[in-house]
Structure 1
Amino acid sequence: MLDKKQLWLIIAALAIVNIVTVVYFMTRPGWGMEKETVATVGNQKINRQEWLNELEERYGKDTLRDLVDKKVIENMADQYDIKIPKKSLERELTLYKTLYGAEGQHLNDKAFEEEVKTNLMLEELLTKDAVISEKDIQRYYNENESLFDIPASYHLSQIIVSTLADAERTLKELEGGSSFSALAMERSLDEFSSNQGGDIGFVSEENERLAPSVLKEARDMQEGTWSGPIKLEKGYAILFLHEKMAGKKYTFSEVKDQIRRQLAIEQMDTPVSARAFWNEADVTWFYGNKEED
């Protein structure tokens, strides 16, 4: 269940990047000015039109398909009166944050929330006529109850330095107004998180990769604050707490619909895609055929 949703989210996130990139450049002042230079290489120039042509060649078809899919889902949801309750959306976002670790750092974005909502609407559309017995839904819940038992989680950034003196110097700079993310990129010894401005996403109480001392500190912190130096096996850590989420156990009634959709999707012979509704939505597009694989 979760692997499929994670794949959808990765695809959705890439689609958002593509859409935002194209729209940004299409809406800038001077759009249509073919002679405008966007880069030079020696005496050679690359104008905006060349650049945009390349963007369309690489991303145009996929980006347009994603836009069409989104509109199709919205229209079909209206037609069949499908709505996603706020609690269902919040639960889905909570599960993503706690289960996908570093990916959770993007889940506060409004655009990402909309993608999750769109995915839920698509699942409802695809499974609206499916009949799954209460017994099968209850059995799935009983066998996978741990999936719906969410531990307390913390969205953290970190700066790792080698000595206590380095940690204290970093704290003084933070107190003087320096950016946590800038300092993380500049001096944190953890290469992966430093490239993200120190952001390590959401970590749960059950995370075994972080030192117990780090989790203990995070548990006692207030959102929007940084910690003092935390002794590690090698070096010291300074944490910044973005968000804290209390643990929660979802009851059968709270996740019943989610399980029904998942079991129905697993029985389907077709991909989880809005293309199944293109004909019904009367889609025509730039690339010709109503449906594209």
Structure 2
Amino acid sequence: MTNVKGLWAFIGALVLLLLAVTWAWYQASGKLQPAAIVGDKTISNDEYVTALKQKFGKQVLNDMINREVVFQEAKRSGITVDPKQLEQELSQIRDSYGSRTDSEFEAALIKQAGTTVEALKQEISYQILLQTLATKDMTIKDEEILKVYNSRSDRYTRPMQMRLGQIVVASQKEAEQVLADLKNGADFQTIAKERSIDEDTAVNGGDVGWVSIKDNRLPDEAKPIVEKLEKDKYSEAIKIEDQYVIYKLTERREASQRTFEEVKDELRREIAFAQVESLDVVLERLRKSVGVQISGQMPH
């Protein structure tokens, strides 16, 4: 789990946990109100929860058991998640959202993935611990790890990133007035909130978030101009289609490269994990080690 696509692959698993929370909420709410009313037909909470259990119940329960098994076995084995790796994985997702602040990242996760930052951290931790438990007895030579690292050097390079603000107006005359006001000391964020016609960024004082020069959110016309901006400086008005945009550079992160030593353990686990037996077999072995008993069934 070392790239954004890989992370998205398991975000879907969080839906199962959300379903479990939904069951608990409806059970806790009792029979105060129906789940829905369709014409003259009432769908009760009991009917709704029963349908959920029939369709997703086994999958949700197994998912919850697997997580608990992994966390317990990791604790018993003295295996923990490196906070730096957790933050690195989280940072990749945050960058993919172009999130401006922690609260905006949280809001974007809730809206687009139906989860929270805390739940995402738990999911990342689960995946890391599962991979570690599944591969802890496997040996991968440093030479093999280094070969893979060298073949993927671009994967461990973070390009230069810029945090931009923008003011978008409809005409050249408006753009000239904005520039005049800025030169006279007007506050960029205040103007963005009051005059920018881009609603998504205007509400945040024009803040676009972090972008790289290759980011599709940055129009081609703007790239050569904003790339040369100095911190806290703003551009001239740039005509983009039928609008005019003034950018401001608020922060800059220079390009960086994660070293081999920084990613060696992560890569070792990834290479080994690709060689493990069926994940179902791994989880079944962990279940037997911890001990699992499902209501009405014998321990297994």
Letter in 2 for 1:277: L
Q: Aligned equivalents of 1:80 and 1:118: distance in 2?
A: 15
- Residue of structure 1 in register with 2:120 after alignment: 112
Q: Choose from 48, 62, 70 the match for 1:51.
A: 48
Shift of 1:258: 0.8
Structure 2 residue runs of 5 or longer lacking an equivalent are 100-104, 110-114, 178-189
1:37 aligns with 2:34: yes
Alignment of 1:242-261 (within 5 A): 247-261=255-269
Q: Aligned equivalents of 1:64 and 1:289: distance in 2?
A: 16
Summarize the Cα distance change of 1:213–1:39 in structure 2 as closer, same or farther, 3 Å threshold.
same
Shift of 1:88: 1.7
Shift of 1:244: 7.2
CA contact (8 A) 2:70 2:129 kept: yes
- Residue of structure 2 in register with 1:83 after alignment: 80
Shift of 1:141: 1.5
CA contact (8 A) 2:16 2:63 kept: no
1:265 aligns with 2:273: yes
- Residue of structure 2 in register with 1:285 after alignment: 294
Greater Cα radius of gyration, structure 1 or 2: 2
- What is the CA RMSD across the aligned residues, in angstroms? 4.6
Letter in 2 for 1:122: L
1:124 aligns with 2:127: no
Give the TM-score normalised by the residue count of structure 2: 0.68
Shift of 1:148: 0.8
CA contact (8 A) 1:157 1:201 kept: yes
Q: Choose from 165, 174, 185 the match for 2:193.
A: 174
- Residue of structure 2 in register with 1:6 after alignment: 5
Structure 1 residue runs of 5 or longer lacking an equivalent are 185-198
CA contact (8 A) 1:97 1:202 kept: no
- Residue of structure 1 in register with 2:158 after alignment: 150
Q: Aligned equivalents of 2:295 and 2:259: distance in 1?
A: 47
Give the TM-score normalised by the residue count of structure 1: 0.69
Summarize the Cα distance change of 1:152–1:271 in structure 2 as closer, same or farther, 3 Å threshold.
farther
Q: Secondary structure at the match of 1:279?
A: helix
Summarize the Cα distance change of 1:201–1:109 in structure 2 as closer, same or farther, 3 Å threshold.
farther
Q: Aligned equivalents of 1:66 and 1:138: distance in 2?
A: 35
- Residue of structure 1 in register with 2:187 after alignment: none
Q: Secondary structure at the match of 1:210?
A: coil
CA contact (8 A) 1:102 1:201 kept: yes
1:139 aligns with 2:147: yes
Aligned residues: 270
Summarize the Cα distance change of 1:46–1:127 in structure 2 as closer, same or farther, 3 Å threshold.
same
Shift of 1:64: 1.6
